[in-house]
Amino acid sequence: MTSKIAASGLVFLGLLAVLGGFDGYNMWKISRELPLWGFIYGYALLFSVAVDALLYKLKKGPSKMAVTVLLYILGGYVPLLYWFQSPWYMSLIAGAYGVACALVYLAAAYLFRRWWPYSTAAAILLLAVAIYVSTSDFTVTKQWVETRTADSYYAEFDYFNGKKEIPISLDAGQTLTYQVDWQITNGGGYGMYLDAEDGAIGTYIQEPGSGTEQISYRVERPSTVQIVVTGNRAQGAVTVTWQITGPGDE
């Protein structure tokens, strides 16, 4: 079991690195997707145990290995075909990733099993690294200068890769209406979303040149919400303005 858990950790971190382009912030974003944890640390582990149980009575040899590889290919491909049904080509791409992960998992589990008892340490270490990636802030800024007033926030920067949070306190029944204006000078990516105490309530990404848009959010109880601006190797400036209306806004 420890060899299987260690294999899950290796596949999880490897997938984060590949999909995130070895960028700490992108890896952090991907690691926040709970289904990914469930698929690699849950489904993969249970599937591996099921295959072991199914083939337990088969004699070791090339035929058993061939059947094992075939089952892992199917196990990595079929579920993703179901989850990514539209558009159709996404199912093919996701299925290819699934097959690659399944085969890497099989090979890693085999190698870790041969390295017992070091596989136990590897399982703990890889899980600790995965948790660290998912809970750390990998935001990188250069020459970041910001100014905040009662109803606005302005920042200019030479480099912005990550996120910045702008907390705003609201009383029960109040509505926050805000607008984010970007002035990007190097073609870098950028976006924003609103994060509430009960978790993220939605995401809106602005493409370069798409203009601005006002967003409103009303709270039912006293809350602190955060306007989060994100950058992807961006250079320039961002301006956030907001208005609070409702009970107690006089």
Q: Are 113 and 131 in contact (CB under 8 A)?
A: no
Range with lowest mean pLDDT among 112-121, 188-197, 209-218: 209-218
Q: Which tops the pLDDT comparison, 100 or 87?
A: 100
User: For residues 73 and 75, what is the distance between their CA atoms, to the nearest angstrom?
Assistant: 5
pLDDT for 88 equals 67
pLDDT, mean of residues 80-97: 77
Q: Which two tokens stand for residue 123?
A: 């399982």
In eight-state DSSP terms, residue 130 is H
Range with lowest mean pLDDT among 113-122, 214-223, 239-248: 214-223
Q: In the structure, what pLDDT confidence band is assigned to residue 68 with cuts at 50, 70 and 90?
A: very high
Q: Are 4 and 46 in contact (CB under 8 A)?
A: no
Question: Is the pLDDT reported for residue 120 higher than 50?
Answer: yes
Angle between helices 118-135 and 88-114 in degrees, nearest 10: 140
A 10 A CB-CB count for 32 gives 13
